[in-house]
């Protein structure tokens, strides 16, 4: 496969790890990265090491310029004249980072949308901006919420007309585990249930994983996506403290359900997603497991189980599949296949 150039929208935990992973992929060249305050572009390839070093502990947020960020109680260095990407010597400050990336997108094969999902229509609205700018290529995200898939489907005709291949929900769950369920389902002619149970350990804590933790808290009883979005960092920390750093989730609105349904695996109502998040330890509080129960063509009822190794990090399980789906998306796009696709649709058909 020919080389692929990529832009990364958002340099929080997912965006940073995607950039780091790109240095292990000879075929993948990051040429643009942005956050809310800055943009770095080099069509020959960004200096990823410099960008990550300059922004370590200095991720752009809504904090006042004089605030000191901390990690486990210790002050974290601040680099350069600005926050986040703007601290890099390769970057410029900007008030319109996404528009600036779009303006440079003619030679960008794929765009990883590593942005928060705390407004249901945020990623769909970002998609509209690429369509309006006549972008041709691949958009890929790691969104979590089921309802966002429908918003993207509503845009499919425009995406096809524009020559865009959109791979949605392509992280760990949904994404990696959605694909595992789709493969496990191949043994059956009828799938009764899919149960996804994840475990994540984040010793680096809320500070380095703000978007992920905040989105997960929106699934707790008494919270929703609107209340989680409005919570202060201190209020998020209070919720973490109330659970002693270990938070359990059940019946989550994760897009695995609609993504498996659209691939013909099972009804969305037959899919359940839950998990345990430990914000203070890297060791996973439970093994991440996918169980698919169904009946075979010869009348047997069985359960296929897929487990992730406890040693693999959340960053590896999100960004590895995302980059893999990105590569598949680019191959499809170069073959003239446009529209909206979920992870399970890029695997053997059921």
Exposed/middle/buried for 223, CB within 10 Å: 0-12, 13-18, 19+? middle
- State the first-to-last Cα distance of the chain, in angstroms, to the nearest integer: 27
Query: 215, 254, 284, 327: which one is catalytic?
Result: 215
Please say if 26 is a catalytic residue: no
Query: 37, 83, 207, 219: which one is catalytic?
Result: 219
Q: Residue 30 contacts by C-beta under 8 Å, 6 or more apart in sequence?
A: 5, 6, 7, 8, 19, 22, 45, 46, 48
Query: At CA 342, angle to CA 163 and CA 305, rounded to 5?
Result: 155
Q: Residue 294 contacts by C-beta under 8 Å, 6 or more apart in sequence?
A: 185, 187, 188, 189, 190, 191, 192, 301, 302
Please say if 248 is a catalytic residue: no
Classified as helix, coil or strand, 144 is: coil
Please say if 219 is a catalytic residue: yes
**Which residue, 139, 149, 196, is CA-closest to 173?**
196
Q: Residue 305 contacts by C-beta under 8 Å, 6 or more apart in sequence?
A: 184, 289, 290, 291, 292
What is the C-alpha to C-alpha distance for residues 209 and 132, in angstroms, rounded to an integer? 32
Question: Where in the sequence numbering do the catalytic residues fall?
Answer: 144, 215, 219
């Amino acid at each position: 496969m020919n080389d692929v150039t990529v832009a990364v929208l958002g340099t929080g935990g997912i965006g940073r790890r995607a950039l780091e992973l790109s240095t292990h992929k000879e075929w993948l060249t990051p040429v643009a990265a942005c956050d809310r305050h800055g943009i770095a572009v080099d069509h020959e390839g960004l200096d990823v090491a410099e960008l990550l070093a300059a922004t370590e502990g200095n991720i752009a947020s809504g904090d006042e310029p004089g605030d000191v960020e901390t990690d486990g109680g210790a002050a974290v260095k601040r680099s350069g004249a600005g926050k986040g990407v703007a601290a890099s010597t390769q970057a410029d400050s900007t008030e319109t980072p996404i528009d600036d990336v779009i303006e440079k997108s003619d030679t960008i094969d794929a765009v990883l949308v590593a942005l928060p999902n705390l407004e249901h229509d945020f990623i769909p609205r970002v998609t509209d901006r690429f369509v309006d700018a006549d972008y041709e290529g691949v958009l890929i995200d790691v969104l979590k919420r089921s309802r966002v898939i429908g918003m993207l489907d509503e845009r499919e005709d425009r995406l096809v007309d524009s020559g865009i291949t959109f791979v949605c929900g392509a992280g760990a769950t949904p994404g990696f585990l959605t694909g595992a369920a789709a493969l496990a389902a191949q043994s059956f002619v009828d799938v009764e249930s899919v149960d996804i149970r994840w475990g994540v350990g984040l010793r680096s804590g809320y500070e380095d994983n703000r978007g992920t933790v905040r989105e997960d808290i929106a699934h707790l009883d008494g919270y929703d996506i609107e209340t989680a979005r409005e919570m202060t960092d201190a209020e998020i920390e209070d919720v973490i403290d109330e659970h002693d750093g270990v938070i359990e989730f059940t019946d989550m609105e994760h897009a695995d359900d609609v993504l498996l349904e659209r691939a013909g695996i099972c009804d969305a109502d037959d899919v359940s997603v839950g998990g345990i998040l430990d914000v203070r330890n890297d060791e996973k509080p439970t093994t991440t497991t996918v169980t698919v129960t169904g009946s075979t063509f010869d009348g047997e009822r069985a359960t296929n189980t897929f487990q992730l190794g406890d040693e693999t990090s959340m960053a590896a399980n999100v960004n590895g599949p995302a980059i893999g789906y990105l590569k598949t998306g680019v191959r499809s796009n170069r073959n003239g296949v446009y529209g909206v696709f979920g992870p399970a649709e890029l695997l053997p058909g059921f």
